[in-house]
C-alpha cells in the first residue's frame, strides 16, 4: 500500500506537476491529489483503500457508474478481435446511427478521440465552410485546449489564473471574440462590429467549466437567431451536457437547433472518444467528401466504439434520465437547505445530471463575473472537509458536479450528512 502523498512525490519526478491534466493536481483547492486504485459503481478507492462517493465520474463519462457490467462486457467481447485496425468497422455505423437518432440535429457524425479534437475540428470545418476566420466564444466556457479556444478559457486555465495560455500566438487569439455568457447584447455587439467575418459561435449550452450555469430563458434561441441572421455556424458544445442534461443533449432540453454539435465523455463510456456532427451540407465539407482536412489514426477505435455503444444503449433505457435528474435535484436542494440551516450563504444550480454549489450571497450566478465574486476559499475548505469524510467533489470551484445512475439514496444521504458536518464546522 502506497500513500497518495508518496505517489504524488514520485509522480512529480517524471510527470509535469505529477499529473496528466492540470485540474487533477488540486492546485486550486490545495493539498495532495488522491491517487485512484480502482472504482466501482458510485465509488472510487484510493491507493490506501479508502472509499469515496464520487461526484466527478471521470469528469462526466461515468454516467452509469464505474465499471458498469454492460460496458465492461462489451469491451471484453471486443478485445479478442483486435485493438485497432485503422479501417472502417460495422460498430462505427451502429454508434453513428444511434447518435443521429438521439440527437436529431445531427445528420452526419465523425468520430474523434477527445472533446478537444471534436471542437477543434468543428471550428476548422465552420471556418472552411463559411470562408471566414473569426469565432465567438464565451468568457468562462471551456472547449478543450486548441489554440483558438484558449482565450479567456475556463476549467484548468481559470483555476490556474491563466485566462489565456502562453504559447497561443496573438495572431490566432485575435480571431477569437469573447462575449459574456447569458448576455445577448454582448453577442449582438460582436456581430454588429464584424457582420460578415464570424465563421462560428461556440457555446456550452449549460456552462460546466465555471461551475454550473444554466442559460437564461431565450438566450440560446437568441444566439440561434443571430447566427442565422449573420450566416454564422452555430456550434453547441455538448461534450459535457450530451446525454446528461437530456438524452438528446441540452439542445433538446432547451429546444434549440444548432448547425453543428460537439460530443465527448459519455459517448465513449469511459474510453477516449469525441465526435462532431450536424447538418449534412456542412459535414460533407470535410475530407474525403469536402476540402477541409480532418483525420485520426485511432478515430472510431473498435474498443471505444463498443464501450460508447453499450453506454448509450443502456442510458437510453426508459426512466434513466428522469432518475438522474431527480437524484441531482435531491442532492442540490439538500445542500441548499443544510447551508440555510447553518446560515451559510450558498447558491445551488442544477440541470439534468449536473450541479454546482457556489459560496455566495447572490441568488443566481449567471456568468463568469458572478462566479469570480464567489468565495473560493470557502469552497476549498468545504471540499477538504467533504474529502476527509469520503466524498469526492470536483477539486475546483470552477467545475460542475456530476451525478450517476449508480448513486443510490444511501449515498446521497451520506453525502448530505457529511455536508451537514462540514457546514457546522465552517460556521
Ligand atoms: N468541451 C467541453 C464543454 C468540455 O467540458 C471539455 C472537457 N472538460 C472539452 C470540450 C474538452 O474535452 P477533452 O478533455 O476530452 O479534450
| Mean pLDDT value across residues 133-152 | 91
| Mean pLDDT across 100-123 | 98
The three cell numbers locating residue 54: 464520487
Give me the catalytic one of 46, 55, 230, 237: 237
**Cβ atoms < 10 Å from Cβ of 384:** 17
Equal fold, 4-67+318-425 vs 69-316:
no
Interval between CA 426 and ligand 1 midpoint (Å): 33
Q: What angle do CA 91, 94, 96 make, to 5 degrees?
A: 110
pTM of the model: 0.96
In angstroms, the CA 336 to CA 347 distance is 7
Query: Whose C-alpha lies nearest to ligand 1, atom 2?
Result: 143
391 and 418 Cβ atoms separated by less than 8 Å = yes
Q: Which atom of ligand 1 is nearest to the CA of 114?
A: 15
* Cβ–Cβ < 8 Å for 275, 118: yes
- The whole-number pLDDT of residue 103 equals 98
Positive or negative: CA dihedral 334, 337, 343, 346: positive
Q: Is the pLDDT of residue 335 over 90?
A: yes
Ligand 1 pocket, residues with Cβ under 6 angstroms: 59, 114-116, 119, 142-144, 155, 204, 208-209, 237, 239-240, 264, 274
How many whole angstroms from 175 Cα to the centroid of ligand 1?
Answer: 21
Give the CATH fold of the 69-316 domain.
3.40.640
Q: For residue 192, what is its C-alpha cell?
A: 454588429
Residue 142 catalytic?
A: yes
Measured in Å, residue 5 CA sits from the centre of ligand 1 at: 28
Query: Mean pLDDT throughout 348-354?
Result: 98
User: For the residues 172-195, what does the mean pLDDT come to?
Assistant: 92
How does residue 159 score in pLDDT terms, banded at 50, 70 and 90?
very low
Count CB neighbours of 287 within 10 A: 11
| pLDDT for residue 115 is more than 50 | yes
User: Distance between CA 161 and CA 398 in Å, rounded?
Assistant: 11
Specify the ligand 1 atom closest to the Cα of 272: 15
Q: C-alpha cell of 380?
A: 476549498
> Is residue 237 annotated as a catalytic residue, yes or no?
yes
Confidence check on the interface: ipTM exceeds 0.95, yes or no: yes
**Mean of per-residue pLDDT scores for the chain:** 95
- Over residues 62-91, mean pLDDT: 98
From the centroid of its chain, how far is CA 363? Answer: 24
Nearest ligand 1 atom to alpha carbon 265: 15
In three-state secondary structure terms, 276 is strand
The predicted structure's pLDDT at residue 161: 30
pLDDT in tens, 365-390: 999 999 999 999 999 999 999 999 99
Enter the CATH code of domain 4-67+318-425: 3.90.1150.10
Percent of the chain with pLDDT over 90: 92
Domain chopping of the chain, boundaries = 4-67+318-425, 69-316
Atom of ligand 1 nearest to the CA of 264: 15
Q: How far, in Å, is the centroid of ligand 1 from the Cα of 280?
A: 24
Using 50, 70 and 90 to split pLDDT, how confident is the model at 191?
Answer: very high
Check if the beta carbon of residue 285 is closer than 8 Å to that of residue 128. yes
pLDDT for 152: 67
| Cα–Cα distance, 136 to 237 (Å, whole number) | 13
Band (pLDDT 50/70/90 cuts) for residue 1 is confident
Predicted confidence (pLDDT) per residue in 32-60, tens digit: 999 999 999 999 999 999 999 999 999 99
Cα–Cα distances in Å, from 14 out to 26, 30, 32, 35, 215? 18, 21, 17, 16, 42
Beta bridge mates, 391: 53
Residue linked to cell 443533449? 249
Three cell numbers, residue 424: 457546522
Taking CA atoms only, the protein residue closest to ligand 1 atom 5 is: 240
Cell of 79: 478485445
Angle at which helix 184-193 crosses helix 219-230, to 10 degrees, equals 10
159 CA distance to ligand 1 middle (Å)? 15
Rounded-to-integer distance, Cα 5 and Cα 32, Å = 6
In angstroms, rounded to a whole number, what is the distance separating the alpha carbons of residues 68 and 57? 12
Pocket probe mutation, ligand 1, options 63, 116, 244, max atoms within 8 Å of Cβ: 116
Amino acid at each position: 500500500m502506497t500513500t497518495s502523498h508518496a505517489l504524488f512525490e514520485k509522480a512529480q519526478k517524471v510527470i509535469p506537476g505529477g499529473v496528466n491534466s492540470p485540474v487533477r493536481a488540486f492546485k486550486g483547492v490545495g493539498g495532495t491529489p488522491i491517487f485512484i486504485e480502482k472504482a466501482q459503481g458510485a465509488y472510487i478507492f484510493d491507493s490506501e483503500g479508502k472509499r469515496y462517493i464520487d461526484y466527478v465520474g471521470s469528469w462526466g463519462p461515468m454516467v452509469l457508474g464505474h465499471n458498469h457490467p454492460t460496458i465492461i462486457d462489451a469491451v471484453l467481447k471486443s478485445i479478442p478481435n483486435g485493438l485497432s485496425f485503422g479501417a472502417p468497422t460495422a460498430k462505427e455505423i451502429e454508434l453513428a446511427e444511434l447518435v443521429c437518432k438521439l440527437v436529431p440535429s445531427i445528420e452526419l457524425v465523425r468520430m474523434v478521440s477527445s472533446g478537444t479534437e471534436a471542437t477543434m475540428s468543428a471550428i476548422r470545418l465552420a471556418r472552411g465552410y463559411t470562408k471566414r476566420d473569426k469565432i465567438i466564444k464565451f468568457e468562462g466556457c471551456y472547449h478543450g485546449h486548441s489554440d483558438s479556444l484558449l482565450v479567456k478559457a475556463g476549467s484548468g486555465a481559470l483555476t490556474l489564473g491563466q485566462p489565456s495560455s502562453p504559447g497561443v500566438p496573438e495572431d490566432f487569439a485575435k480571431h477569437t471574440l469573447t462575449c459574456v455568457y447569458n448576455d445577448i447584447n454582448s453577442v449582438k455587439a460582436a456581430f454588429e462590429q464584424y457582420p460578415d467575418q464570424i465563421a462560428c459561435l461556440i457555446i456550452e449550452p449549460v456552462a460546466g467549466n465555471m461551475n454550473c450555469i444554466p442559460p437564461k430563458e431565450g438566450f440560446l434561441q437568441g444566439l440561434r437567431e443571430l447566427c442565422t441572421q449573420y450566416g454564422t455556424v452555430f456550434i453547441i458544445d455538448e461534450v459535457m451536457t450530451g446525454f446528461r442534461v437530456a438524452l438528446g443533449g441540452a439542445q433538446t432540453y432547451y429546444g434549440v437547433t444548432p448547425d453543428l454539435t460537439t460530443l465527448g465523455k459519455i459517448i465513449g463510456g469511459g474510453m477516449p472518444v469525441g465526435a462532431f456532427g450536424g447538418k449534412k451540407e456542412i459535414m460533407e465539407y470535410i475530407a474525403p467528401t469536402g476540402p477541409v482536412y480532418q483525420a485520426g489514426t485511432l478515430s472510431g477505435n473498435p474498443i471505444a466504439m463498443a464501450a460508447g455503444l453499450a453506454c448509450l444503449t443502456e442510458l437510453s433505457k426508459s426512466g434513466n434520465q428522469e432518475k438522474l435528474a431527480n437524484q441531482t435535484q435531491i442532492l442540490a436542494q439538500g445542500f441548499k437547505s443544510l447551508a440555510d440551516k447553518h446560515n451559510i450563504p450558498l447558491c445551488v444550480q442544477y440541470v439534468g445530471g449536473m450541479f454546482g454549489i457556489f459560496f455566495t450571497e447572490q441568488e443566481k450566478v449567471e456568468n463568469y463575473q458572478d462566479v469570480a465574486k464567489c468565495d473560493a476559499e470557502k469552497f476549498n475548505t468545504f471540499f477538504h472537509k467533504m474529502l476527509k469524510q469520503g466524498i469526492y467533489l470536483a477539486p475546483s470551484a470552477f467545475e460542475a458536479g456530476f451525478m450517476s445512475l449508480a448513486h443510490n439514496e444511501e449515498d446521497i444521504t451520506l453525502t448530505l450528512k457529511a455536508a451537514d458536518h462540514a457546514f457546522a464546522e465552517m460556521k
